[in-house]
Structure 1
Amino acid sequence: MKGQSASTLLIVDYNLSRVDDVAHLAQYARERHGARTVLIRWGPSERDRRICDAVIDLDPLAEHFVTDALARLAPIAGELRAGIVFSDNAVQQGAALLERLGLAVDSPVLAEGAFSKHAYRVAEHRVRALLQAQRVMVPDYTQAASADDLRRFAADHPNGFVVKPSCEGNNRGVVVVRSGENFEAAFAEAAPYLSRGVICEELIPFAREFSYDGLGALSFITEKISATGRYPVEVAQILPSRLAAHEVETLARAGRFANVLVGQRDGPFHNEIKLSDDGLHAAVVEPNRRPAGMKIWWLARWAYGIDLFHAWIDALWGIAPPSSLPAPERFAAAVMLGVGRDQLFSPQDVRVDAAPLDDAIARTVGALGLREGALRSRGFEWLTAERRFVHAIARDNADFVALATITLEADDVDIRDVVTHLRANWPAALDAACATRAAA
C-alpha cells in the first residue's frame, strides 16, 4: 500500500512511559503504509514531536475533549485513514472521537467499563447470574468515601477486602485490608484518588493471576507474578504461561466475557484475571481496552515471533491479524527490579562502567546451572531519572527502579525460578554498581 495518496494515522494518547511503543507504531505505519502520524497528548514532550508528524496538546479527560479535538483536526479530517486509542484515560472519549470522525473503533458507549473499575463491577452485577453460571466469580463491591465505609464493608467481608482507586492504573493506591487492621490508615493510602472515586472489593480468594491478552479474535494468556502481603504489586510477567487445557479455557471464558462487557471487538485488550487452584473458576480483576503494559506485546514477539504492534496497524489497513499464535520458540519475562533497603536512589548513582543486570544474570546462571547463552537480556530501562525515595517492600510500581526483559531457552528450568533468582540477585548487584561511586 506504500506509495498511495497521503493518509494519516491518529493516535489518541498513550499510557505513562510508552513513548517507545508509539515510535514503533508510527515508524511501521510510515514504512509499511506510507502514513503520517498525528498524536493527541496532554502536555506532549519534545520526543513526541520528533516521532510524530504532528502533535495536538489536549487532555482526553477534559469535558469538551471530543469537540475541541474535532475542531483541531478539521483541516486534515479528509486525510484520516485510521485511529487508535492507546491509553486508559482516553479509552472512552478517544473512542467517541474516532466514531465522530467516521473511523473504525470499538464501542464508545461500553468503554467506561475499561476505565472505571466501579463501572465494570456495575456491569458485571447486571449479568451476575450469567457469569456465575460460567464459574466466573463476581466480587461484591461498594464505593467508599471514608474510613467508616471501609469499616462497614469489613463487617460483611471478614476474610478481607481490597481498597483501590476507581480510575487509576499502575497498581497505585491498591491496599489489601484484613480483619482487625487500621481502617483509617488503609483509607489514607487511597485518599489521594478520591476525586475519581475509591471502591472496596471483596477479596478474590484465588492466588494465581494471569492476563487474557490479544488483538481482535487473537488471544493468548500471560502469567503474572505479584507480591504477597499488603501491597499486591506485580513483579513479573511471563510468556508462555504453563497451564493445563482446562485452565486455559477457564481464563479464556472469563476474558471473553470481560471483552463483551466493555465493548471490545476488533481492538486490543488486556484483562487481568485470577484463577482458582483447581483451574475451574476465575474472577476478573480488571479489564483494559489497550495493549498490555510491562512489555507483554514485546514478550510475545520474543516468545512467538509475531509483532502485535505491526498486526494492530495492519488490521486498520484491512489486513486481518492471525487467528492464533504459532508454537512458542522460547520463554520470555519482564521483571520489575527494586532496592534492597529503603533509600534515596537515582540512576546517576550507578557507575558509568557498571552493568548490574549483567551481574545479576551471571549470578542467576551460576545458581541454576544454566548453559551459556540460555538466559539473555533483551532490554533494560531505568524507570525514572529523578532522585526519589524508594521502599524496599514495594507499595506500588513507583517503588521499582528498573524494568528488565529476559528470554530463556531451556526446557528443564522453570522461568518462574529464574525470575525469583534474578530479583534476589539484583539488589546486591545494584549496591555493588553504586558502591565505588559513593566512596569516590
Structure 2
Amino acid sequence: MTTLVVNGGPSDDYAEMLPELASDMVVFTGNPLPGPERYAHYEQVTGIAAGSYAELAALRMAARAVGQAPFEHVLTDNEYDLERVGRLRDRLAVPGQSEASARAFRDKALMKDLAAQGVPVPAYTRLRSFRDLEGFVAERGYPVVVKPVSEGGSRGVTVLRSQSDLAAFGARRWRHDLMAEEFVRGEVYHVDAVIAPDFRFVSAGRYYTGCLEALSGANNGSVLLHPHEPMSARLADFFDTLMKVMPAPEVGAYHLEVFHTLDDRLLLCEVASRVGGARIPQLIRRTYGIDPKETWFRLATGLPLRAEPLEVPRAVHGELCITPRPGRVVSVPGPPPFDWVREHVPNLAPGDVSAGPLHSAAGVCWTIVAGGDSSELMDRLHTCEGWLEEHVVHGAPEPAP
C-alpha cells in the first residue's frame, strides 16, 4: 500500500522518519527534500499550498488504481494543506482527520464557536463588513485585534488602539476572511501534544514575548515548563477540556495557545491540529527525547515508536530569537559565552537586507538554552538577549525605491 505526502516544510525527511514506508511513498512538496530518489514518486510543486495540483494529481493516481485502495495513509504537516488533505481522505475513504475536522482547527471563528462550549474564550465576532467591525469596537472599546481566520504565524494581524487606527484600517482594501477579538492583557502559554489511542504526550510552555509584540520588533522565543510546575497541570487540564468539544481525529498533533490574564484566568487564544512551529520541536526533542512530528506520523501510520517521551526530563529548554530590524545586517555574532547555551544558529548573515519581522517566527539568529524550570530559563534568556543585542548590528533601513 502507498503513503501520500503533501509537504510544506523546507527540510522534512519523511524517508528518515518513516523508513518502512519510503519506497512506496508518493511525495508532492513545495520545497526540495533530501534524498528524493528514496521515494516511489517525487514532485516539487511551486506554490503547492496555494494551488490544487497535488490534490488533482493524487485523485488521478487514485482513479488509475482500479480494484485496489490507492493510498493507505495521507499525511501533511503543513497548516495550509490540512483541509485539502482532509478532503482527499474523505474522497478516498482513507482514515485520518476529515476536511470538517481540519476546518474546525483552521477557521479561528468556527474554532471559538466550538471551543466556547467547553472553555473560556475572548469576546470575538466574524466580520462580514466594516460595519461589523465598527459595532464590535463600539461594544468592546479599544484595543481590538483584527485578524484573518485562517492565517498562521500572526500574519495579517492588526491591533486597533484608537479611532485613527480604525479610520486607517477602513482605508484598506477589505478582506472577507476577517474576525475581530478583544485584546487580552497578560502572558501567552502554549501546549504541544500528540494524542492517539494508548498514547498521550503533553508539553506546556510559555512564550518569551507575545506573538504580536514580535511583530512590533520585540525579540521572541519560548520556554518549556517543567512538568512539575503548577501551571503545567492547569494547561494540561485546559487542553483536555478543550479536546472534549473539538472534532479531533483519533490520532493527532496539536499546538494550543492560551492567554493567562492579569487576574489569573485562562482563555483560549487558538488551537491548531499540527506540531508547533519555530523551534518548539527542537525544545521538545532536547527536553523529552522525542521528535513530535515523527511520533505523530508513526502513530498515524500504525508504526511502532522509535522513542518514548521522558516522564521527568533532566532539564527543560528555552529559545530566544532576535527579531530582525528593517535594513542591512552589519554583524551577527557566534554563540553567547555561557555554559548553559546548547545551540546557536544565525538565520541572516552580514550584508543581508531585512524587511523586518514579517511573521512571528522571523529572526536574525536563535539560541537554545537549558535550565531547571521555566523561571531559570527566562532569566537565562534575558541574559542571552542582553549579550546578543550588544553584538547584533543593523544598518540604517534601505531607502525606498
TM-score, L = length of structure 2: 0.80
Unaligned runs of 5+ in 1: 1-6, 366-372, 435-440
What percent of counterpart residues are identical? 17
The answer (yes or no) to whether the contact 1:174–1:231 under 8 Å persists in 2 is: no
2:130 matched to 1:142? no
2:333 to 332, 356, 360: 356
1:336 to 316, 321, 324: 321
Corresponding residue of 2:251: 266
Counterparts of 1:82 and 1:140, CA distance in 2: 37
- Report deviation, 1:67: 4.7
Corresponding residue of 1:375: 341
TM-score, L = length of structure 1: 0.74
Shifted more, 381-390 versus 53-62: the winner is: 381-390
SS of 2:18's equivalent in the other structure is helix
- Report deviation, 1:229: 5.7
The answer (yes or no) to whether the contact 1:163–1:199 under 8 Å persists in 2 is: yes
| Deviation by residue 1:147-172 (Cα, 9 ceiling, x = unmatched) | x5433321111252211122211112
Corresponding residue of 2:364: 402
Corresponding residue of 1:209: 188
Unaligned runs of 5+ in 2: 396-401
Counterparts of 2:160 and 2:247, CA distance in 1: 28
SS of 2:274's equivalent in the other structure is coil
SS of 1:120's equivalent in the other structure is helix
Corresponding residue of 2:276: 292
2:201 matched to 1:218? yes
Matches within 5 A, 1:4-403: 8-14=2-8, 18-20=9-11, 22-23=12-13, 25-30=14-19, 35-41=23-29, 44-47=30-33, 50=36, 53=39, 54-55=42-43, 57=45, 59-60=48-49, 62=51, 66-74=55-63, 80-124=71-115, 128=116, 130-131=117-118, 136-143=120-127, 145-146=129-130, 148-186=131-169, 191=172, 194-195=174-175, 197-205=177-185, 207-216=186-195, 217-227=200-210, 231=215, 235-240=220-225, 244-245=229-230, 247-259=231-243, 260-277=245-262, 279=264, 281-319=265-303, 325-339=310-324, 342-345=325-328, 350=331, 356-358=333-335, 361-362=336-337, 365=338, 373-377=339-343, 379-382=344-347, 387-391=352-356, 394=357, 396-397=359-360, 400-403=362-365
Counterparts of 2:364 and 2:107, CA distance in 1: 28
2:388 to 426, 429, 437: 426
| Deviation by residue 1:332-364 (Cα, 9 ceiling, x = unmatched) | 12322124xx54235xx55xxxx6132xx12xx
SS of 1:287's equivalent in the other structure is strand
Q: Which amino acid aligns with 2:179?
A: I
Report the RMSD for the aligned CA atoms in angstroms.
Answer: 3.7
- Report deviation, 1:264: 3.8
The alpha-carbon distance between structure 1 residues 291 and 35, as it changes in their structure 2 partners (threshold 3 A), is: farther
| Deviation by residue 1:99-139 (Cα, 9 ceiling, x = unmatched) | 43343212322221222222223334xxx4x43xx5x2342
SS of 2:146's equivalent in the other structure is strand
Structure richer in helix, relative to its length? 1
Counterparts of 2:348 and 2:37, CA distance in 1: 20
The answer (yes or no) to whether the contact 1:223–1:241 under 8 Å persists in 2 is: no
Corresponding residue of 1:370: none
Q: Which amino acid aligns with 1:11?
A: V
The alpha-carbon distance between structure 1 residues 271 and 320, as it changes in their structure 2 partners (threshold 3 A), is: farther
Q: Which amino acid aligns with 2:312?
A: A
- Report deviation, 1:296: 1.1
The answer (yes or no) to whether the contact 1:112–1:262 under 8 Å persists in 2 is: no
Counterparts of 1:303 and 1:256, CA distance in 2: 22
Q: Which amino acid aligns with 1:201?
A: E
The answer (yes or no) to whether the contact 2:219–2:320 under 8 Å persists in 1 is: no
SS of 1:89's equivalent in the other structure is helix
Counterparts of 1:295 and 1:229, CA distance in 2: 18
SS of 2:79's equivalent in the other structure is coil
| Deviation by residue 1:364-403 (Cα, 9 ceiling, x = unmatched) | x3xxxxxxx32222x5141699954444xx57437x4334
SS of 1:109's equivalent in the other structure is helix
The alpha-carbon distance between structure 1 residues 412 and 144, as it changes in their structure 2 partners (threshold 3 A), is: closer
- The count of residues paired between Structure 1 and Structure 2 equals 383
- Report deviation, 1:78: 5.0
Corresponding residue of 1:438: none
